[in-house]
Copies of this chain bind each other. A is one copy, B any other.
Amino acid sequence: MLAEIITIGDEILIGQIVDTNSAWIAQELNGIGIKVHQITSVSDNESHILSALHEANIRAQLILITGGLGPTKDDITKRALCKYFDTQLIFHEPSFKNIERLFEMRGRKANLNNHSQAELPTNCIPLNNANGTAPGMWFESEGKVFVSMPGVPYEMKAIMLEEVIPRLKRHFTTPFILHKTILTQGVGETLLEELIADEENALPPGFKIAYLPQSGMVRLRISASGDEQIIRKQMTEEYEKVCLKIKEFIFGFDDDTLESVVGNLLRQKNLKLSTAESCTGGYVSHLITSVPGSSEYYMGSTITYSYESKTKILEVPANLINEFGAVSEEVVRIMADNVKKKLNTQCSIATSGIAGPGGGTKDKPVGTVWIAVSTPNGTVTKKLLLGNNRLRIIHVAAITALNILRKEIIGLN
């Protein structure tokens, strides 16, 4: 049982918009055991749309199409579908009522262009679009299913959830698919693969592992398909075996983020956090505060981007900076300790480093970062060497600091 997604629109092919619909649709289909075989983005051009439909029809049993359903001249998906199914458009009263309703809500009246949006191919089952004027369409043809939806994400999503997913569940008997994602930090994909080589080689049939690196972390995804009961049992076993081999690097699972995991730990243990950032320039704080509810445990930060601000706001002794330099274990430790006192928190993170491109020396090249993490158990420090890409240095330093804090909190009694 394979599906394909076809996204239609010149704006995708000139890079004007990023196609976020496909990933969302693929996740939803996976959730009901339907695998996406291919995603194809084509232009608003009839023959291009037709050839994409023909090719997808050869490979897949389900074809989901988004885009090209607007009221303007450049939207030609419906015309292409009529040609593909050798049919024509017919006016669909309930769809027009929906269009009128939407216009009334905005205090306006539907016009002729909108009237044409209620014209649909004779062979389709119209799918109600609660959030927009273009109805979705469900086609069945020679054992295959085709679905056409608007490209506006929140319209498409509502049609998928309310109309398409329930119909797909009734229409197809699908194999069971299960994914488990293990999130790791502080280890490269090469080493990870070595560490779990035995487990990977001994995976049961239908199981596979993917390594998904992101700057500063690697996601490890175990996927399996087959009989639900067997797969669930095997997954738990395999998953635990893999986790055992790499447990020191694991910070979470599936949709966790390091900042949300740390936030949950702080909340559970009733600890408050503050930060003192130099080279990360507010990025640690941004990650922490991107989590809803973070004001419950996060008190604030001092971003000390100059010697003067380090001494003035954080009261780092000037002689310490003069003796060891701003990027040093001694200074970063004092930063962590002082911000903790200053903001009356039990935990703190401090960073100081050289994000470049300037400022590097032989002893302390660009990419040198010192991190200090303080908890009721004391203050630990770590030195990183992170290459020479400014944004990557900032990103990896922040991620690493959060992960050290996570480990330190877990280590508390």
CB within 8 Å of B: which residues of A? 10-20, 22-28, 30, 35-44, 48, 52, 55, 70-74, 102, 105-107, 111, 113-114, 131, 152, 154, 179, 181, 189-190, 193-194, 200, 208-213, 215, 219, 221, 223, 274-275, 277, 281-286, 288-290, 292-295, 298-306, 308-309, 312-313, 342-344, 355-359, 365, 367, 385-392, 394
Q: How many copies does the complex hold?
A: 2
For A275, list chain B residues within 8 Å (CB). Answer: 303
Residues of chain B within 8 A of A16, CB atoms compared: 23, 27, 181, 210, 212, 219, 221
Could you say which of B210, B215, B283 contacts A154, with CB atoms under 8 Å apart? Answer: B215
Closest beta carbon of chain B to A73's beta carbon, Å? 7
Distance (Å) between the CB of A380 and the closest chain B CB? Answer: 18
A299 pairs with B309, CB closer than 8 A: yes
- Beyond A281-B294, A295-B305, 14 extra complex contacts between A and B, CB < 8 Å: A12-B22, A13-B38, A15-B36, A16-B219, A19-B22, A39-B40, A102-B387, A105-B367, A154-B392, A290-B390, A290-B391, A301-B305, A302-B303, A308-B344
A and B contact pairs by CB, cutoff 8 A, 27 listed: A14-B30, A14-B179, A14-B210, A16-B27, A18-B18, A18-B19, A19-B22, A19-B23, A38-B48, A70-B213, A72-B193, A114-B190, A131-B392, A154-B392, A277-B282, A281-B294, A289-B303, A290-B390, A292-B357, A298-B306, A299-B306, A300-B306, A301-B302, A302-B303, A302-B313, A306-B343, A313-B343
A343 engages B18 (CB within 8 Å): no
On whether the beta carbons of B289 and A281 are closer than 8 Å, the reply is: yes
Q: Is the CB of A11 within 8 A of B113?
A: no
- Asked if A106 and B385 make an inter-chain contact with CB atoms under 8 angstroms apart, the answer reads yes
Q: A289-B305, A305-B294 are in contact. Are A210 and B10 (CB under 8 A)?
A: yes
